[in-house]
Structure 1
Amino acid sequence: MQLIAKAGLDAVTVRDVAEAAGCSTAIVSHYFHNKKELLHVTYTAAIERATGRAEAALAATGDLKAFLAEIMPLDEDRLTEWSIWLAFWAKAVSDPDIAAAQRNCVLRTRGNILRILDDLNARGELVAGVDRAHAARRVLATITGMAVQVMFDREDWPTDRQHGLIDPELRALYIPSRIPASIAEPAAPTHRENVVAMAGER
């Protein structure tokens, strides 16, 4: 995964993988028939790692934002995963196996988001009549589009800006009184806090 994220799919060789793993190319070839199989396994492993992490976060918290945060490019590991996914997207045009894996990943993730929204709706936490299937598509598309921009302009997308884009999308789905703390708007500073801040700037 690290080699692909740094050099891209075409530049990575079986020899590179063997050297990084501290073994011979014969060992790599024993487990993988060719480079294509090795790359495909790496791609699906990246998907499974992120999906498993997101599902574990959901199971632990029951919170939609906790689930989504695990697939947002908020740190080095998640940024590496996005680097891998983006590298494979071009391959998906001509490789039906990669295309199928990508489609299954989208369907699985979107299905999980929809399932969470259905559960929230059943508990009476969402705005009445919200189109949950559309909301699931919109949220996933927003994260995907944002991740592409983060990849090419990371300094412009620190974690607070990423949260600032996603959180309003989620807040709009909830009844105001049921908005969870994870996406609640920061409280406006009090007059005293403003005075203290101004004094500090001076």
Structure 2
Amino acid sequence: MASRLIAAAGLEAVTIRDVAEAANCSTAIVSHYFRNKRELLILTYYSSIDMSQARCDRVLAADREDLRAFTAEFMPLDEERLIEWKIWLAFWARAVADPEIAEIQRGCVTRARDAFLGVMRTLDAKDLLIAGLDLREEAQRILMLLMGMAVQVMFDPVDWPAKRQQAMVDAELRKLYRPGRIPPGLMAAEAALERA
């Protein structure tokens, strides 16, 4: 409940009363579980991070080499992921002046970068990626692309539908692979874009 409220109104506008009303309970019940608004908001932030992490873990459990599917879990392609991005960006603004939130943010970005790096190391070990890539730098570059694109999606969703987001990311991912080693999913995406 709090996630949707934060996504719609921002951190400052959300109150304990709003959360109680959205959950169809009294403010006393919400206050029983959370000492104050800050604790509620930070737990909501952690919850959004955990949900994203669970999706990413499922993708990696299914196929540790599917960089495209893994990357898609970070993209605001649907309402759930767009809400997560709105929450994250609301907290990023707070992180400028709040050391605790800044530390949560640093940890989140580090884990995401390291997860990308892990997938890319798996691909590199199988000789699928271009030789000599700085994998850490490439993992950071992909993450920065996703962050920048997510901001654009939030402020101009009509101009950034899921198809355009995926095309942008696919074009960047294809650049990492050796000629002739591009996975079928990325090749199919490229062919579909050429037909469109």
SS at match of 2:21: helix
The whole-number CA distance in structure 1 between the counterparts of 2:186 and 2:106 is 29
Give the superposition deviation at 1:160: 1.3
| Aligned counterpart in structure 1 of residue 24 of structure 2, from 14, 22, 25 | 22
Q: 1:113 aligns to what?
A: 116
Amino acid at match of 2:191: P
Q: Is 1:166–2:182 an aligned residue pair?
A: no
| Aligned counterpart in structure 1 of residue 4 of structure 2, from 2, 5, 20 | 2
Amino acid at match of 1:88: F
The whole-number CA distance in structure 2 between the counterparts of 1:65 and 1:58 is 11
Could you tell me which runs of 5 or more consecutive residues in structure 1 were left unpaired when the two chains were aligned: 190-196, 198-202
The whole-number CA distance in structure 2 between the counterparts of 1:182 and 1:90 is 36
Return structure 1 stretches of 4+ with deviation > 6 angstroms. Answer: none
| Aligned counterpart in structure 1 of residue 56 of structure 2, from 54, 68, 72 | 54
Q: 1:194 aligns to what?
A: none
The whole-number CA distance in structure 2 between the counterparts of 1:112 and 1:128 is 20
The whole-number CA distance in structure 2 between the counterparts of 1:181 and 1:80 is 30
Tell me if structure 2 keeps the 8 A contact 1:58–1:64: no
| Aligned counterpart in structure 1 of residue 90 of structure 2, from 76, 87, 90 | 87
The whole-number CA distance in structure 2 between the counterparts of 1:159 and 1:139 is 17
SS at match of 2:68: helix
The whole-number CA distance in structure 2 between the counterparts of 1:110 and 1:166 is 16
Q: 1:142 aligns to what?
A: 145
SS at match of 2:158: helix
Give the superposition deviation at 1:176: 1.9
Give the superposition deviation at 1:61: 2.7
Show CA shifts across 1:67-124 (max 9, x none): 1101100011111111111111111111111111111000000000001111111111
The whole-number CA distance in structure 2 between the counterparts of 1:36 and 1:132 is 37
TM-score, L = length of structure 2 = 0.93
The whole-number CA distance in structure 1 between the counterparts of 2:109 and 2:102 is 11
Identity among equivalent positions (%) equals 57
The whole-number CA distance in structure 2 between the counterparts of 1:65 and 1:44 is 25
Q: 2:126 aligns to what?
A: 123
Structure possessing the higher radius of gyration over alpha carbons: 1
Could you tell me which runs of 5 or more consecutive residues in structure 2 were left unpaired when the two chains were aligned: none
> How many residues of Structure 1 are paired with residues of Structure 2 in the alignment?
190
The whole-number CA distance in structure 2 between the counterparts of 1:100 and 1:171 is 33
Show CA shifts across 1:9-65 (max 9, x none): 111100110111111111111111000000000011101111211121122133111
The whole-number CA distance in structure 1 between the counterparts of 2:51 and 2:100 is 19
